[in-house]
């Protein structure tokens, strides 16, 4: 070898990478992949990855605009003006919130990217962020990747939760800089009323802390509940921003379109970082998204109803299995406390591995979302009602030993009559889902 130097080269990732907390879903993801390779029909209720199609009129617009050569050039990193204007119009229409598309809106490559880069734009070493526990993992990882610290507070949706946050704000020095709020919540499916935000804004003003609201499930609400937007709270825009997304309401998760709206300085900080990192989305995706926002209100309402029906099937089935489960009024998850007799002293990571191994059903262990998630599993409403029923039968078989569940192999296509009427099929949709999302 030239130079004859046999000294092994050390390749070390940055401390930024090393600071990341352990990824607790990896064993489950590995087992799921190996079961699928072995031909098992895993019913995957792990990841919040929508299975239903995006609106036809949106896909048609994407195709049409993709045929226009002008749309293949680099776009703009903050997003097309017309798309920013359309999300502003939607905020006005749905929540009565006024947004200036030029200064108070930035388009992101999914809200996860936007959230992560906002953390990089706002935080540095020595900064601290308050996050509820359990939490959607990126709310913790993005803070760590930005070099800042996370203070976890047991999650809630009431004054007691705000009191816990106040205790931290009062006693920690230097004072935390940001507070992350996420209602409807992932994974806990917790919701709030508008009063909660009014109190949160008051608290934030008192302690000079900024608020970032993750509103990914703002439009996935059931039984007539309407999730309030943080930005609709008086004073909200003075001290914070809100992320929203096309992923869940419009079944456009793979399209990667999100928005950060609100406080102009925070929006500008994110836009600045993005200006260095990216050239914005493929223009046809943005153009089709404009149409979705403009004409998709009914589609969004119908999709929420699909989740509501799946929720009803799942919650009824879990209760029959012997679990005490609350009926969530929003999000695409059921956050279920595992019955003590079924947990049998195990943690939820081992429990979820067992369920996957023995019942071919994948769920997300609550422990993966934080210490306070222990004892729960998160079950995503991302299979049709028939498949959810099948999953419940397999869980019942595995946990209560009542019935032999079918495995391995593809499921026999003998749909229940009610689901047949819905045009549902016994097929596995997501072959690649990674739990944690």
Ligand X SMILES: Cc1ncc(COP(=O)(O)O)c(C=O)c1O
| Residues near ligand X (CB under 6 A) | 48, 110-112, 136, 182, 186, 214, 216, 245, 247, 253, 258, 437
In this structure, are residues 246 and 289 in contact, taking their beta carbons and an 8 Å threshold? yes
Question: 46 vs 415, which CB is nearer to ligand X?
Answer: 46
Distance (Å, rounded) from C-alpha 339 to C-alpha 318?
A: 10
Give Cβ neighbours of residue 183 (< 8 Å, ≥ 6 apart): 157, 190, 191, 192, 196, 213, 215, 227
Cα–Cα separations (whole angstroms), residue 134 to 13, 151, 153, 243: 28, 12, 9, 19
Question: 110 vs 236, which CB is nearer to ligand X?
Answer: 110
Cis peptide before 13 (omega within 30 of 0): no
Question: 300 vs 359, which CB is nearer to ligand X?
Answer: 300
> Whose CB is nearest to ligand X?
110
Give the nearest distance from C-beta 146 to ligand X in angstroms. Answer: 17
In this structure, are residues 279 and 74 in contact, taking their beta carbons and an 8 Å threshold? yes
Give the nearest distance from C-beta 408 to ligand X in angstroms. Answer: 29
Give the nearest distance from C-beta 112 to ligand X in angstroms. Answer: 3
Give the nearest distance from C-beta 347 to ligand X in angstroms. Answer: 23
Q: State CA 320 to chain mean position distance.
A: 28
Residue 116: which of 136, 133, 141 has the closest Cα? 141
Question: 41 vs 214, which CB is nearer to ligand X?
Answer: 214
Residue 320: which of 300, 303, 336 has the closest Cα? 336
Give the nearest distance from C-beta 49 to ligand X in angstroms. Answer: 8
Give the nearest distance from C-beta 215 to ligand X in angstroms. Answer: 8
Question: 136 vs 197, which CB is nearer to ligand X?
Answer: 136
Question: 136 vs 335, which CB is nearer to ligand X?
Answer: 136
Distance (Å, rounded) from C-alpha 362 to C-alpha 435?
A: 9
């Amino acid at each position: 070898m030239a130079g004859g130097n046999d000294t092994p080269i050390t390749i070390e990732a940055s401390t930024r990478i090393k600071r990341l907390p352990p990824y607790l879903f990896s064993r489950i993801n590995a087992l799921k992949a190996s079961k699928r390779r072995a031909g098992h029909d895993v019913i995957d209720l792990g990841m919040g990855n929508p299975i239903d199609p995006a609106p036809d009129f949106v896909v048609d617009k994407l195709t049409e605009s993709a045929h226009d050569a002008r749309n293949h050039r680099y776009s703009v990193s903050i997003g097309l003006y017309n798309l920013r204007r359309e999300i502003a119009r939607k905020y006005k229409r749905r929540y009565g919130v006024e947004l200036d598309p030029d200064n108070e809106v930035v388009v992101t490559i999914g809200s996860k990217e936007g959230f992560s880069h906002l953390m990089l734009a706002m935080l540095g070493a020595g900064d601290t962020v308050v996050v509820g526990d359990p939490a959607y993992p990126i709310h913790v990882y993005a803070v760590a990747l930005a070099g800042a610290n996370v203070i976890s507070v047991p999650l809630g949706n009431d004054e007691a939760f705000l009191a816990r946050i106040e205790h931290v704000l009062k006693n920690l020095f230097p004072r935390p800089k940001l507070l992350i709020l996420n209602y409807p919540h992932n994974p806990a499916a917790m919701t709030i009323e508008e009063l909660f935000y009014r109190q949160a804004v008051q608290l934030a003003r008192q302690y000079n802390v900024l608020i970032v609201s993750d509103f990914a499930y703002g439009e996935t609400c059931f039984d007539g509940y309407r999730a309030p937007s943080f930005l609709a709270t008086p004073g909200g825009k003075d001290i914070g921003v809100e992320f929203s997304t096309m992923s869940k309401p419009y079944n456009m998760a793979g399209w990667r379109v999100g928005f950060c709206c609100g406080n102009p300085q925070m929006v500008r900080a994110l836009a600045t970082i993005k200006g260095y990192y990216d050239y914005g989305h493929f223009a046809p995706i943005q153009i089709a998204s404009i149409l979705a926002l403009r004409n998709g209100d009914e589609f969004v309402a119908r999709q929420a109803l699909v989740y509501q029906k799946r929720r009803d099937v799942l919650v009824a089935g879990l209760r029959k299995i012997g679990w005490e489960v609350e009926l969530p009024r929003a999000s695409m998850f059921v956050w279920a406390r595992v019955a003590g007799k079924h947990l049998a002293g195990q943690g939820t990571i081992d429990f979820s591995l067992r369920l996957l191994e023995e019942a071919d059903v994948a769920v997300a262990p609550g422990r993966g979302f934080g210490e306070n998630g222990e004892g729960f599993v998160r079950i995503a409403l991302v299979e049709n009602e028939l498949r959810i029923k099948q999953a419940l039968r397999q869980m019942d078989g595995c946990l209560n030993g009542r019935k032999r569940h079918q495995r391995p192999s593809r499921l026999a296509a003998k749909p229940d009559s009610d689901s047949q009427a819905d045009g549902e099929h016994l097929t596995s949709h997501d072959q690649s889902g990674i739990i944690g999302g």
